[in-house]
């Protein structure tokens, strides 16, 4: 029926609504930047920009995985624990088994992939609700991380372990007259480069590839996709593997930044990841979502945290504000979907 079903409020075309949604998120990002620039001198600087970008990487990387999972109509609650497990596995591989750092980190990342694969198998073959399957994994991965480290941080990993998290590209340093180094440009941190490359790659995959099309199709209507010959189980499993892999990568980046592997790292990160996807317009019902939206969502959360910190807002108040932002954006999303 072409009859409008919305009794009240003005009717906008879908395209207009989509644009509004997109600009609502992007607009609020600019408003945040403007407000924080006005209230804090140190906010709008190259250095702080890089700090924010670095802080945002973990949310964004996890958010990219979460977006793909949520588009299929699933959810991944395990990423916070999986990143801790992956990080400590990488650290232990380097420290206890004496492996070179790149190999150790690769093993860490693959640990994340394996966790994702297990999630995928539980969701597709054993038909567990994604919430339950990944809740189980969340507890198991955390437990294993604590178990294999004896709940202690793994430190003494050597300088090369910190390279991924702390190194940067195009760092320009001059030696000043007084003999102290003078940082002209802090460089683009490796994690930020990783984030950009992965965001572009996954976005490309979603928009341009057959696999991406199938991901949207499964989320939009799983029965129609199956009856059209889409290998639903493989598509869904892939999204969990991707999410797990990105969690593994995030774990390695985070542990590398601290040059210490903490089995307690990443608690509640899954919620930041989901929040960034949702703020960016990903629908929890499935079928809708973009990486660009999630990137904006991740920056909204990151900038809020950073800016509020700079303005001396307490951590408790920050939580309240971020909670309100999530409610507000999802409410806007509901308005958009009430067609």
Partner 1 sequence: MQNGEAIKGMAGTSFADEMLLSLENIRKEFPSVTALADVSFDLKRGEVHAVCGENGAGKSTLMKIISGVYTPTSGKIVYKGQTRNFANPLEAENLGIAIIHQELNLVPHLTVAENIYLAREPRRGFLVDRRKLKADAQACLDRLGVAISPDRLVRELSVAQCQMVEIAKALSLNAEVLIMDEPTSSLTEQETRLLFKVIHDLKSSGVGIIYISHRLDEMADIVDRVTVLRDGRYVATSAFAKTSVDEIVSRMVGRSLEEKFPERTSTPSEDVLLRADNLTRHGVFRNVSFTLRRGEILGFAGLMGAGRTEVARAIFGADPLNEGTVTMDGKVLSITSPRDAIAAGLAYLSEDRKAQGLAIKMPVDANMTLANMEAVSNRFGLIDFAAHAKAAEHYVDLLSIKTPSVKQPVRLLSGGNQQKIIIGKWLFRQSRILFFDEPTRGIDVGAKFAIYKIMDELARTGIGVILISSELPEILGMTDRVAVFHNGTITGVLDTARTNQEEIMRYASGYGLSPHRPAAN
- Does the footprint of partner 1 cover residue 7 (CB under 8 A)? yes
Q: Which of residues 288-307 bind partner 1 (CB under 8 A)?
A: 288
Binding residue (CB under 8 A) for partner 1 from 53, 68, 114, 214: 214
Q: How many CA atoms does the CB half-sphere of 55 hold within 13 Å?
A: 17
How far apart are the C-alpha atoms of 211 and 72, rounded to whole Å? 12
Helix (H, G, I), strand (E, B) or coil at 261: strand
Q: Which of residues 216-235 bind partner 1 (CB under 8 A)?
A: 216-217, 220-221, 223-231
* Strand ranges in 33-191 using DSSP code E only, listed in sequence order: 168-169, 172-175, 181-185, 188-189
Tokens linked to 58: 């973990």
- Does the footprint of partner 1 cover residue 125 (CB under 8 A)? no
How far apart are the C-alpha atoms of 144 and 92, rounded to whole Å? 13
177 or 223: whose CB is closer to partner 1? 223
Helix (H, G, I), strand (E, B) or coil at 71: helix
Kindly state the smallest distance separating residue 74's Cβ from partner 1, in Å: 16
Tokens linked to 302: 């990151």
- Does the footprint of partner 1 cover residue 2 (CB under 8 A)? yes
Only segment of 34-42, 156-164, 214-222, 267-275 that touches partner 1 (CB under 8 A): 214-222
Q: Do 77 and 270 form a contact (C-beta atoms < 8 A)? A: yes
165 or 289: whose CB is closer to partner 1? 289
Q: Do 270 and 243 form a contact (C-beta atoms < 8 A)? A: no
How far, CA to CA in Å, does 40 sit from each of 108, 307, 314? Answer: 39, 8, 16
H-helix or E-strand spanning residue 255: helix 232-258
Q: Count Cβ atoms within 10 A of the Cβ of residue 312 and give its class: 0-12 exposed, 13-18 middle, 19 or more buried.
A: exposed
- Does the footprint of partner 1 cover residue 182 (CB under 8 A)? no
Longest dimension (CA), the chain: 77
2 or 41: whose CB is closer to partner 1? 2
Kindly state the smallest distance separating residue 214's Cβ from partner 1, in Å: 8
Tokens linked to 199: 């965001």
Kindly state the smallest distance separating residue 232's Cβ from partner 1, in Å: 10
188 or 232: whose CB is closer to partner 1? 232
Kindly state the smallest distance separating residue 258's Cβ from partner 1, in Å: 38
Residues in the chain: 339
Kindly state the smallest distance separating residue 231's Cβ from partner 1, in Å: 6
Kindly state the smallest distance separating residue 25's Cβ from partner 1, in Å: 19
Q: Do 70 and 294 form a contact (C-beta atoms < 8 A)? A: no
How far apart are the C-alpha atoms of 246 and 240, rounded to whole Å? 10
Kindly state the smallest distance separating residue 288's Cβ from partner 1, in Å: 6
- Does the footprint of partner 1 cover residue 127 (CB under 8 A)? no
155 or 209: whose CB is closer to partner 1? 209
- Does the footprint of partner 1 cover residue 179 (CB under 8 A)? no
How far apart are the C-alpha atoms of 38 and 141, rounded to whole Å? 43
22 or 226: whose CB is closer to partner 1? 226
Kindly state the smallest distance separating residue 119's Cβ from partner 1, in Å: 23
Q: How many residues bind partner 1 (CB under 8 A)?
A: 29
Binding mask 247-286 for partner 1 (x = CB under 8 A): ----------------------------------------
- Residue numbers at the binding site for partner 1 (CB under 8 A): 1-4, 7, 10-11, 14, 208-211, 213-214, 216-217, 220-221, 223-231, 287-288
């Amino acid at each position: 029926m072409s009859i409008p079903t919305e009794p009240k409020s003005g009717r906008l075309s879908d395209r207009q609504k989509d644009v509004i949604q997109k600009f609502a998120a992007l607009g609020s990002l600019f408003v945040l930047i403007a407000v924080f620039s006005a209230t804090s001198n140190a906010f709008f600087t190259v250095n702080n920009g890089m700090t924010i970008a670095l802080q945002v990487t973990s949310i964004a990387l996890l958010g990219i995985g979460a977006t793909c999972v949520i588009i299929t109509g699933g959810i991944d609650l395990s990423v916070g624990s999986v990143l801790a497990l992956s990080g400590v596995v990488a650290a232990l591989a380097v420290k206890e088994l004496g492996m070179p750092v790149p190999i150790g980190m690769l093993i860490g990342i693959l640990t994340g992939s394996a966790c994702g694969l297990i999630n995928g198998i539980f969701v597709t073959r054993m038909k567990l609700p994604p919430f339950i399957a990944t809740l189980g994994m969340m507890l198991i991965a955390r437990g294993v991380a604590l178990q294999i480290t004896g709940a202690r941080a793994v430190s003494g990993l050597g300088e090369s372990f910190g390279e991924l998290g702390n190194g940067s590209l195009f760092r320009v340093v001059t030696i000043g007259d007084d003999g102290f180094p003078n940082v002209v440009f802090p460089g683009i941190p490796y994690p930020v480069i990783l984030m950009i490359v992965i965001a572009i790659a996954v976005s490309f995959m979603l928009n341009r590839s057959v696999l991406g099309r199938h991901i949207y199709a499964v989320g939009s209507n799983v029965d129609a996709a199956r009856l059209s010959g889409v290998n639903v189980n493989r598509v869904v499993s892939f999204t969990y593997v991707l999410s797990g892999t990105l969690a593994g990568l995030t774990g390695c980046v985070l542990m590398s930044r601290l040059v210490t592997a903490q089995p307690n790292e990443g608690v509640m990160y899954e919620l930041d990841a989901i929040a960034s996807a949702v703020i960016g317009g990903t629908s929890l019902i499935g079928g809708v979502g973009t990486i660009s939206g999630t990137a904006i969502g991740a920056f909204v959360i990151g900038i809020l945290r950073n800016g509020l910190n700079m303005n001396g807002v307490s951590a408790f108040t920050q939580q309240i504000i971020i909670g309100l932002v999530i409610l507000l954006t999802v409410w806007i999303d509901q308005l958009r979907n009430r067609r």
